[in-house]
Amino acid sequence: MSLPVSSVSLRSVVCLIDRFPALTDVNLEVSEGEVVLLSGGNGAGKTTLLRLIAGLVPAFSGEVIVLGKNLRINCRAHRDEVALVAHETGCYDELTVRENLYFFTRSRSQPTSVADDALDQLGLGRLADTLHGKLSAGQRRRLSIAKALAVSPRLLLLDEPHAGLDADGREILDEVLRDAAAKGRTVILASHEIDRSRALADREIELQSGKTLPVPAGETEPVKPVEA
């Protein structure tokens, strides 16, 4: 039997934000195709950890290998293979939903057809010609997720992805994550919606005061198989 391929390998990682140790001792191994939930209270380090894996903040010390790239040497070496759904969309208010997605996909050398597929998957087709500045918080969250999908990432990172979504939006997001898992993509999400996220995840990692703590076996809900 072949060993699982590692998507993320972090060892003894320390990360400073304005000289404050936001991450103090992070050890994390995530295999390709896994869906991993990051849990923990406010200030535990979940957002910083996702930004570290995305290459947006540097590690002060430790080993950071993501998709086979050493981020201590080049923190953006994996740029075209990873997508982060953050609290801000990173979109332009003066552009429409479609224009924002097209702009982003072209910057990543992706065909615009991928953006169209993402629009449909997130139920944004009827809003395609609406200015970003006119969108509600929930619609912006959907666009942020569509933007991440539009680059066909090997690694999908999500920070509180259910926040701001209505019931329909949450169901759509859950289906998006199941679809990503079925396609063999690696997914790491941070969420306060523990029960909902546990139902989607293969396993859970708790963060506490900037340290990773594995959740004891049996405390997470069993993962339901994705139906073909």
Name beta bridge partners: 158. 85, 189
- The first and second tokens of residue 24, run together, are 């103090």
Going by the DSSP 8-state scheme, the letter that residue 226 receives in this structure is P
Segment 181-202, tens digit of pLDDT: 999 999 999 988 889 999 999 9
Ramachandran bin of 178, using left for φ above 0, alpha for ψ from -120 to 50, beta for the remaining angles: alpha
**Contact predicate 37/159, CB 8 Å:** no
Which two three-digit tokens encode residue 174? Answer: 């859950």
* 183 contacts: CB under 8 Å, gap ≥ 6: none
Q: Residue 176 and residue 144: Cα distance in Å, rounded?
A: 13
CATH superfamily of 6-214: P-loop containing nucleotide triphosphate hydrolases (3.40.50.300)
Tokens of 189: 């999400």
- pLDDT computed for residue 221 by the predictor: 41
Rg (CA), the chain: 17
User: Over its length of 228 residues, how does the chain's per-residue pLDDT go in tens digits?
Assistant: 455 688 999 999 999 998 899 999 999 999 999 999 999 999 999 999 999 999 999 999 999 999 999 999 998 889 889 999 998 888 999 999 999 999 999 988 888 999 999 999 999 999 999 999 999 999 999 999 999 999 889 999 999 999 989 999 999 999 999 999 999 999 999 988 889 999 999 999 999 999 998 665 555 444 333 333
Strand order in the sheet with 155-159: 69-70, 61-66, 6-17, 20-31, 211-214, 203-208, 35-39, 186-190, 155-159, 82-85
Residue type at 90?
G
Q: Whole-prediction pTM value?
A: 0.89
CA distance 114 to 146: 10
How many CA atoms are closer than 13 Å to the CA of 153, on its beta-carbon side?
A: 28
Both tokens of 89, joined, read: 């969309």
Which residue type occupies 59? A
Q: Domain residue spans in the chain?
A: 6-214
Which structure tokens are listed for 146?
């569509």
